[in-house]
Amino acid sequence: MPTEITKVAVVGGGYMGGGIAQALALAGLPCALADVTAEAAQNSVRRLVEEGKDYESRGLFPEGAHDLLVANLRAVESIEDAVEGADYVSEAVPEILELKQSTLGRISRAAGPHTVIGSNTSAIPIATLAESVTRPQNFLGVHWMNPSFFVPSVEIIPTENTSPEAIFAVEELLKKADKVATRVADSAGFVANRLQYALFKEASSMVEEGLATPEVVDEVVSNAFGFRLAFFGPFAIADIAGLDVYEYSFRSIESAYGSRLAAPEVLKAKVADGHLGLKSGQGFLTMDPAAAQEIANYRDRAYAELKALKDRLGPPPFLSKNV
């Protein structure tokens, strides 16, 4: 098992896989890109290099990005050519179980004994995909977010068979790419997409019930709790607001929508034990009440700067101004 990944490959040159290849190449790593055909791989590399030049000219990519992409990205004829000599291979083909299984089988058969393989699946349990590889100790989920270069988070999803060495090697690789690598449990959707899809389902229900239009939901979310989520996760937000406040609010919501939106048992237990969040020093997180003003100062500065950024950028081009 390599202690340092110095040569990488990406299988799948679409928007997601291409973005991963781009991010790794910009981190200084030679990256081979394979796609459904050699021509598709060549077109992907050409697109990524041209995009890099455009992004650099607009200040979105660092200076020298275009040259790095030219130097480090190369299209190859086949999956086997991409995998040859690679320390790490990212599988980024479409989210179709059978396609991922067959692709991982080809990658695994072509890989060296120490090559680490990471699947970029968005929701398929990694243990399911691990059945397609010959060395499960070298396999794990490595779930990038879209667009790959700009979004910091990458979920790392080991199975019970993934070796500590493979996990460490991938974490070090992601540090080179300036990513926030977070280990999460192997369950369908992992953390990011389980939460994202739960939100989408409830938002869709509101539209189906005639309570709001998609435009209204998006406006509220992006300017309310979604605004806060740029800096604080849901547990920090709840702790700052007060868990007792959350429990009381859940009572009203449960009375309208039933047990599916009842207060979680873990929340009720916290409140019963007097763990109310910041005001008590302990909630889901540990927060020193003496630091309340410091936390408030950070929050206020963060929100003020984010509001200024949103005002400077303006609304997305597709957004209706007459919600």
| pLDDT tops 60 at residue 291 | yes
Domain 8-183 matches domain 224-313 at the CATH topology level: no
Each residue of 53-85: pLDDT tens digit?
Answer: 999 999 999 999 999 999 999 999 999 999 999
| CA 29 to each of CA 21, 156, 211: distance values in angstroms, whole numbers, following the listed order | 9, 20, 50
> Where do we find the tokens 């398929």?
124
Each residue of 260-289: pLDDT tens digit?
Answer: 999 999 999 999 999 999 999 999 999 999
d(CA 46, CA 210): 46
CA neighbor of 65 nearest in space, from 52, 74, 75, 47:
52
- Tell whether domain 8-183 is in CATH 3.40.50.720: yes
Look up the pTM and report it: 0.94
Phi-psi region of 237 (alpha: psi -120 to 50; beta: other; left: phi over 0): alpha
Q: What is the DSSP letter of 277?
A: B
- Residue boundaries of the structural domains of the chain: 8-183, 224-313
Q: According to CATH, what is the number of the domain 224-313? A: 1.10.1040
Residue 323: per-residue pLDDT: 46
